């Protein structure tokens, strides 16, 4: 009886268990069916019509806030049908990117499973397993972030594409959409860019090379990395032989083929924002990060920069106002270039490379100009090393006619001599003789080493005392001068100037990233002393026109001589100045200076005004308004008090000397009066003697006549 009950109980439990299992299975099936239904609805509602019109991706430029500043694009993509693409090219892509392309329905589940396991062990999404259809979906419709959400969207779009197009149509669109580097979107443009031919005429070797670029267009570009590109080509050829697309003999012959490149020129039109800044950015990307102009203009890159749109706009507004510049000659425009950088980061906040009509990637007066810097060199070549050697701001320097070795005889611009002057006065009034004398005193080699520490390259011919006044065989650029002066508000540390922070390729991969390069040029105390001196230039000296209410400004003017004799003219005008947060260098001059084209006046009346206008329009970007001179405040205060005492003594001595001179003059006047009176009396006596003598002679004559 008990056994029967037990058996009934077991049967009941078994039935219930089966019922639960059935329910679970039913729920799972329902979930799967619902999931499939949802997925199919998503697939059905997805729009892939964008594939009908392929278009290249523009390169996007971002400012320092991550906002889009400008876009670059010059690609003219040319779509071609599959029949107009060589079979070798088609086979090379299939062998390399998706060997089962014609056998799956858009998704290679084996490859995805393998990638999933890899990602699981890595703890991140590091592997893909994408088919050609998936790559097409990703390139056209999605970002390149590696997340499971993006992967799900990719799968849905992939299925939609597979249902909407045949395999040949998918492959055709893929080959017309894919990026091959050097600004070449699509196989036709790639064939023309690299080999100067149509896609239908590509050889086996050329096809394999282009197919190899798909993996990494920039690092495998034959224009920049030819050897790596050839190695990749050989791998593709091996894969083609393995998949049965070519024979072993064809493989051998193709590897032996010599690749002949045809480097096509890009269009040079640019109508976007901040043209001169973009010019420099392209130049920097090419030189520092080994990109080509084609890649930059049409590579679908994302370039993050140090551009400050407020300061850049301010600079462009100033350069568009002719009233702020001297009047040019009728046949040649007075040119100018300026650059503004942040001293602690080295980031180029703004840059304008010229006046007048802009030419894309034309001559940039801010970065490419090489001119003698004039007196702006004095703080670098003379006063910084002198302070390092123990000189102080109020030490006395010689200011009298001097002749140095080789017959070099510097002159002050005002053609006056003071015998002696303080270092402070020599700086703020830009006296020449004291600067040359001081460089000679500390040793020319000290000055040369200092200039090179500041990042200014020198020629062998520059190793002379004229370096004190900016006398150089070639010269330097506004960019390098701004970078050098940025040392002073940054407590003696110079950070390399740069415009680019980071570059991402069309796939979202970081291909270039700024690595800070900072150099200790001088000690913080010396840097603050220079700032004190250069602040004096703006407050009391030649840079007064750069003075801005409410903001501390320091800087140095510079004016260079003409190569021919004309009174009152000059070749170059410079001002390199800074606030606590912004350093700027401004240059003016003619591109071609001659007897009919030269500057009048001096830099204190031109470059300083431009600097002031740009900074004034950028006030909203400046949070710090006062220089930190805490390391030298005590010593400067004592030196000023001592100077005041000496000046007071000098005044007293001068007053006493004046009084003595007045007394001496009075004594001389009295003495002269007495002498004059005596001389008059003598004259009278002489007159009487003559009269008497004359009378005597007359009487004698009469007597003779009578006789």
Looking at the annotation, which residues are catalytic? Answer: 97, 375
Long-range contact set of residues 213-218: C-beta below 8 Å, sequence gap at least 24: 213/180, 213/181, 214/93, 214/96, 214/97, 214/178, 214/179, 214/180, 215/96, 217/179, 217/180, 217/181, 217/182, 217/295, 217/299, 217/505, 218/181, 218/291, 218/295, 218/299, 218/505, 218/511
Give Cα separations from 306 to 201, 501, 515, 580, 625 (angstroms): 44, 7, 13, 18, 21
DSSP 56: P
Q: Which residues contact 46 (CB under 8 A, 6 or more apart)?
A: 156, 157, 160
Q: Phi then psi for 398, rounded to 5 degrees?
A: -75, 140
Residue whose token pair is 């004359």: 694
- Token pair belonging to 495: 């950070």
SS3 content of the chain, % helix, strand, coil (to 5): 50, 10, 35
Indicate left, alpha or beta for 492 from its phi (over 0: left) and psi (-120 to 50: alpha): left
Indicate the SS3 state at residue 123: coil
The total of other beta-carbon atoms located within 10 Å of residue 646's CB is 12
Give Cα separations from 324 to 317, 338, 547, 569 (angstroms): 10, 14, 16, 19
Calculate helix-pair angle for 87-97, 132-141, nearest 10 degrees.
90
E-assigned strands of 568-704?
Answer: 569-570, 572-578, 583-589, 599-600
Distance between CA atoms of residues 281 and 619, nearest Å: 25
DSSP 442: H
Distance of alpha carbon 278 from the chain centroid: 10
- Token pair belonging to 639: 């030196």
């Amino acid at each position: 009886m008990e056994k029967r009950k037990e058996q009934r109980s077991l049967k009941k439990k078994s039935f219930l268990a089966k019922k639960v299992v059935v329910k679970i299975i039913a729920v799972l099936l329902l979930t799967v069916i619902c999931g499939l239904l949802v997925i199919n609805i998503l697939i059905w509602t997805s729009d892939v019509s964008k594939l009908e019109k392929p278009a290249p991706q523009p390169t996007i430029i971002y400012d320092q806030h991550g906002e889009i500043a400008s876009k670059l694009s010059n690609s003219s993509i040319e779509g071609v049908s599959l029949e107009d693409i060589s079979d070798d090219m088609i086979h090379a892509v299939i062998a390399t990117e998706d060997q089962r392309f014609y056998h799956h329905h858009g998704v290679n589940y084996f490859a995805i499973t393998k990638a999933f396991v890899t990602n699981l062990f890595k703890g991140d999404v590091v592997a893909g397993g994408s088919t050609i259809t998936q790559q097409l979906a990703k390139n056209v419709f999605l970002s390149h972030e590696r997340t499971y959400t993006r992967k799900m969207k990719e799968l849905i779009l992939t299925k939609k594409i597979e249902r909407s197009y045949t395999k040949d149509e998918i492959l055709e669109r893929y080959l017309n959409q894919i990026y091959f580097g050097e600004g070449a979107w699509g196989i036709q443009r790639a064939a023309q860019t690299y080999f100067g031919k149509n896609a239908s005429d590509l050889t086996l070797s050329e096809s394999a090379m282009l197919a190899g670029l798909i993996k990494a267009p920039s690092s495998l570009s034959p224009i920049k990395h030819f050897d790596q590109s050839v190695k990749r080509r050989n791998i593709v050829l091996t894969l083609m032989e393995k998949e049965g697309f070519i024979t072993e003999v064809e493989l051998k012959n193709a590897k032996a083929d010599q690749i002949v490149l045809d480097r096509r020129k890009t269009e040079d039109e640019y109508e976007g924002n901040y043209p001169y800044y973009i010019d420099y950015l392209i130049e920097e990307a090419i030189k520092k990060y080994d990109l080509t102009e084609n890649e930059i203009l049409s590579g679908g890159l994302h370039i993050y920069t140090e551009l400050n749109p407020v300061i850049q706009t301010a600079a462009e507004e100033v350069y568009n106002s002719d009233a702020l510049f001297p009047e040019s000659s009728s046949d040649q425009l007075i040119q100018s270039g300026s650059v503004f950088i942040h001293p602690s980061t080295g980031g180029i906040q703004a840059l304008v490379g010229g006046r007048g009509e802009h030419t894309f990637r034309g001559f940039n007066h801010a970065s490419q100009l090489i001119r003698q810097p004039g007196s702006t060199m004095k703080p670098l070549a003379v006063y910084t090393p002198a302070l390092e050697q123990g000189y102080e701001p109020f030490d006395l320097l010689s200011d009298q006619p001097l002749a140095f070795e080789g017959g070099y005889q510097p002159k002050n611009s005002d053609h006056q001599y003071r015998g002696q002057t303080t270092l402070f006065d020599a700086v703020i009034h830009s006296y020449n003789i004291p600067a040359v004398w001081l460089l000679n005193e500390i040793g020319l080699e000290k000055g040369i080493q200092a200039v090179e520490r500041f990042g200014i390259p020198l020629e062998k011919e520059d190793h002379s005392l004229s370096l004190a006044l900016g006398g150089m065989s070639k010269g330097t650029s506004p960019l390098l001068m701004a970078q050098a002066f940025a040392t002073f508000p940054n407590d003696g540390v110079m950070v390399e100037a740069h415009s680019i922070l980071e570059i991402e390729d069309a796939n979202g991969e970081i291909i270039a990233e700024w690595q800070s390069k900072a150099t200790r040029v001088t000690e913080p105390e010396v840097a603050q002393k220079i700032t004190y001196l250069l602040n004096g230039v703006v407050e009391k000296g030649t840079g007064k026109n750069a003075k801005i209410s409410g903001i501390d400004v320091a800087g140095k003017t510079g004016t260079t001589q003409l190569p021919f004799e004309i009174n009152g003219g000059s070749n170059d005008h410079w001002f390199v100045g800074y606030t606590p947060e912004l350093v700027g260098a401004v240059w003016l001059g003619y591109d071609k200076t001659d007897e009919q084209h030269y500057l009048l006046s001096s830099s204190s009346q031109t470059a300083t005004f431009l600097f002031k206008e740009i900074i004034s329009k950028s006030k909203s970007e400046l949070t710090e308004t006062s220089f930190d001179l805490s390391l030298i405040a005590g010593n400067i205060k004592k030196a000023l008090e001592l100077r005041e005492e000496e000046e007071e003594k000098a005044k007293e001595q001068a007053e006493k000397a004046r009084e003595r001179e007045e007394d001496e003059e009075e004594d001389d006047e009295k003495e002269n009066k007495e002498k004059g009176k005596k001389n008059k009396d003598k004259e009278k006596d002489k007159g009487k003697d003559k009269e008497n003598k004359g009378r005597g002679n007359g009487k004698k004559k009469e007597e003779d006549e009578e006789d």
